[in-house]
Chains A and B, each alone.
Chain A
């Protein structure tokens, strides 16, 4: 069955970096686009952008440029979200989600990133 398995929770200090992974199984990895979604504590869902799993080309939503990088390693069917220069307001759960026809059919379980000194 289709699964997206994300890396575990992270506790980071302000200014540090974090890399969240999302390993896909059960489908052809390069057929589905991969999106990233942020959910701050007690808040709604915020689309961060997506990466074309065929070409590796990323697209970032407004507000997620500069410190955020989407990348892939197709050999291990994994997408990555790298956030640098972490701030307290980056504290959130980050989800990966795959998309074949536009809607987000499959979701990872989420990775909690906590930024605190």
Chain B
């Protein structure tokens, strides 16, 4: 069965510092991995995805994610956090069914 784990309910970081939001996954076959962001009272917005190829994927708003097959991880990163990055972040995985399985979400709080 497919599953996604986001081990941190909340991540706090100071503005200008690098940030990491963690995600691990379990899927049979090739994993297709996604990150989404949700701002208050809004729907989820797509940030980036990993399908194949380069393990470092670049996405919207300066975010990137590193795929690590041996650790079954897909951590979201940004070199320098902004206060406006504060939001709820979801990692998701799909195998070969078309269904996305979402993690529980991690709240990112960036303080000035």
A binds B: no
Which residues of B does A touch, CB under 8 Å?
A: none
